[in-house]
Amino acid sequence: MTFAVRALRNTAFLVLASAIVLGLTWGYGLSLHDTAFLSGWMLLVGVAFLTAFNLRKKLPVLPLLSVSTWLQLHIYVGWLVIVLFLLHTSLRWPTGGLETGLWLLFVAVALSGVIGIVLSRVLPRRLRLHGERLIFERIPAFRAQLAGEVESLAMDSVTQISSNTIAEYYTSRLQPFFRKPRNVRAHLLGSNEALQRLRREIRSLERYLDSKGQEALKEIEWRVAAKDNLDQQYAVQLFLKGWLFVHLPLTYGLVLVAVVHAVVVYAFDGGSL
């Protein structure tokens, strides 16, 4: 089954499940009950199920369906939970501190989840199209290697071609560039303007150098491009790994506040339940 067909199938299930949820709530309302209790409980169970996804990931050696199946459930149950949330809140702004906090947490978790899954589908391809795919943990070592090579080329140019041009350019522009990851935001936005600018600068130096100097410059230029690829890999992979550090703590916060919310509701139900 292609991913597109699977997405269609799952969307159909989601629509069906949403219709069932809406039907149940409508029926519950017909019996003169407060539908917020039903939608609230369904919402809490849904959020608990979504949270269990991370627990499943921590138990890779157990035969509890594949993690990709869990992710599909996580995504589509997530959408269903959003429907439940809209139903539960009746599309009204929250009132009171606890409810506002809970509302904000839910929106933040849902948004970070949606953004995360969209980026998970978009960014890997961008990584591939930009250059060689690298293991994140190895990037600093590659960067140090490139920095060392460029420094040697720049220093050697002083003695071998008796010119300070490359060395001065290295000191002012390239050394900072190679020192750490650069242009993270630009890479996330898919811009390669920074690389283009450096290339223009490097090529503009050619007229001041003899053939040996120009050779050295070419060597430097491809290392600049390689470093730019490292930066792109770093930025995108950091983001791919990092968004979970937003999504997960917010989720745990949401679960905690949601439980408090439920306790408060039952504590102050005034006998209506």
Partner 1 sequence: MNQTLAIERPRRWDQPFGPGMTESDVDRVLGLDIFRDIDQSQFPKDQSLRHIIRNDGRVVRYQRGDIVVRDGDYGSSVFVIMNGSVRVVFDDVAKSGLVGTATTPKRSVLSALRQVWSNDRMPEVRDVATYQGGDALSIRGESTAARTFIKDVDAFMAEHETFPMTEGQAFGEIAALSRTPRTATVFADAPLEAFELRWQGLRDIRRRDRKFREHIDSLYRKRRWAQELVEVPLLAKLDEATLEEIAQHALFETYGEFEWFTSYKRARDSEDVLKVEPLIAEQGAYLDGLIIIRSGFARITERLDKGERTIGYATTNDAFGLEDIVDHWRDEAGLHLRHSLRAIGNVDVLRIPTALVEQHVLPNAPAHLLRGHTVRVGSAGFAETGPSGLEQSLIDFFVDNRTINGTATMLINTDRCVGCDDCVRACAAAHNNNPRFVRHGATHGNIQVTNACMHCVDPVCMIGCPTGAIARNQADGRVMIDDRICIGCGTCANSCPYNNIQLVEIRDSSGSFIVDEATQQPIVKATKCDLCYGQLGGPACERACPHDALVRIDMRDQRHLAEWVRRS
Site of interaction with partner 1 (CB under 8 A) = 1-3, 57-63, 66-68, 70-71, 120-121, 123-125, 127-128, 132-133, 135-136, 237, 240-241
> How far is the C-alpha of 187 from the C-alpha of 203, rounded, in Å?
22
Cα 40 from chain centre: 29
Q: Quote the least distance from Cβ 169 to partner 1, whole Å.
A: 34
Q: Quote the least distance from Cβ 53 to partner 1, whole Å.
A: 9
Nearer to partner 1, 66 or 164 (CB): 66
Nearer to partner 1, 28 or 239 (CB): 239
Q: Quote the least distance from Cβ 74 to partner 1, whole Å.
A: 9
Q: Which residues contact residue 93 at a Cβ distance below 8 angstroms, ignoring those fewer than 6 apart?
A: 103
Rg (CA), the chain: 27
Which of these, 205, 239, 231, lies nearest to 147 by C-alpha position? 231
Q: Quote the least distance from Cβ 219 to partner 1, whole Å.
A: 23
Nearer to partner 1, 177 or 234 (CB): 234
Task: State the DSSP code for 189.
Answer: T
**Is 46 within 8 Å of 81 (Cβ atoms)?**
yes
Nearer to partner 1, 176 or 242 (CB): 242
> How far is the C-alpha of 155 from the C-alpha of 164, rounded, in Å?
9
DSSP per-residue letters across 190-210: T--HHHHHHHHHHHHTGGGS-
Nearer to partner 1, 61 or 91 (CB): 61
Q: Quote the least distance from Cβ 206 to partner 1, whole Å.
A: 33
